[in-house]
Amino acid sequence: MTTMNKQWRLKERPIGAPSAETWDYTESELPTITDGQLLIKIEYISMDPAMRGWLNDAKSYIAPVQIGEVMRAGTVGEVIESKHEKFAVGDYVVGHNGVQSYAVSDGTGLHKVDPNLAPLSYYLGVLGMPGMTGYFGLLKTGKPKAGETVVVSGAAGAVGSLVGQIAKLKGCRVVGIAGGAEKCKFLVDELGFDAAVDYKNEDVKKGLKQACPNGVDVFFDNVGGDILNDVLTQINLRARIVICGAISQYNNTTAVKGPSNYLSLLVNRARMEGIVVFDNIKEYPIAMKEIAGWIQSGDMKVKDHIVEGIETFPDTLMMLFKGENFGKLVLKVEG
């Protein structure tokens, strides 16, 4: 039996939520490589909210995925064939190699990782793009000081759970906003957050008032919409709002909901600032080393949510937008 390359390609740009119509599933024979190339057997594929944005035909921080292209995604896998001087068979590599079971690469954007230092999936989460996003977004843009109150939305997700834990390590009061009692309990009991607000079952503004008696100094927002608007009513003088994402708005068919309470920025001389992880690429090694240290010392806990089988990609991706993932969502290629 020939081994086949299983691939998910963009068939049609979605209006609103991606659906079955959005994707094409194809199988083809394994590609052959030429000089300067290598072949990767992908083991894990990262499922990230940012992927929704890559489907839009709009100017952004990165080019949109083209119709017919294999869907862009962060991946980790093993080099199984190499005609590239820097990579050898048996190396494990991380890169944006797409939603497919095998990828040919010329080495661009690849970096090697050590499967013995951490579980492979960590390189897509806490030691990967979400980890870097949370680390640099919080520390460089949020600039939390010990004693301040840090609120994070999407708190049980890949970025949020890391942001909250780093803020705790920096001596802050940390409050997470997440959906459902189970996630909220996890944030407080397992990750050591000071409090959690369950947006699915609580009035967020009331919940925040209770959880943040001294107001909000830093808000790290992954969600947007009503949650951003509610937090804006609770910010302190010179608060920093880090705009990391707006998952509540990505599948809108109407206009994004703008924060009508934005004049709270004026009253409080506060700042709202957007971040894109790739700006920090040169400093990734510093962050990875520090995060790895926290994991090793037990100061940081990691929760991955692994779904098996590349065939499930369309439904697995949608778990992000339904809030069904609990921790970093990763697709394991082989079921």
Does 274 interact with a second copy (rule: CB under 8 A)?
yes
Q: Which candidate, 124, 133, 125, places its Cα nearest to that of 152?
A: 133
Name the 3-class secondary structure at 284.
Answer: helix
Q: Of the ranges 108-116, 125-133, 183-191, 254-262, which one interacts with a second copy (CB under 8 A)?
A: 254-262
Q: Return the closest-CA partner of residue 142 out of 178, 166, 158.
A: 166
In order, the DSSP letters of 178-229 are: ESSHHHHHHHHHTT--SEEEETTTS-HHHHHHHH-TT-EEEEEESS-HHHHH
At its nearest, how many Å lie between a second copy and the CB of residue 192? 28
Distance from C-alpha of 205 to C-alpha of 230, rounded to nearest angstrom: 5
Which residues inside 122-181 make contact with a second copy, applying CB under 8 A? none
Shortest Cβ 59–a second copy spacing (Å): 8
Closest CA to 170 of 194, 196, 150, 156: 150
Task: Verify binding: residue 275, a second copy, rule CB under 8 A.
Answer: yes
* Shortest reach from residue 269's CB to a second copy, in Å: 5
C-alpha 128/C-alpha 136 separation (Å) is: 12
Judged by CB, which is closer to a second copy: 83, or 269? 269
Kindly state whether residue 269 participates in binding a second copy, applying the rule CB under 8 A: yes
- Which of 30, 80, 265, 292 is the binder for a second copy (CB under 8 A)? 265
| Candidate list 98, 128, 224, 323; residue touching a second copy; CB under 8 A | 224
Amino acid residing at 209? K
Q: Quick check: 258 binds a second copy (CB under 8 A)?
A: yes
272 binds a second copy (CB under 8 A): yes
What's the min distance (Å) between Cβ of 141 and a second copy? 9
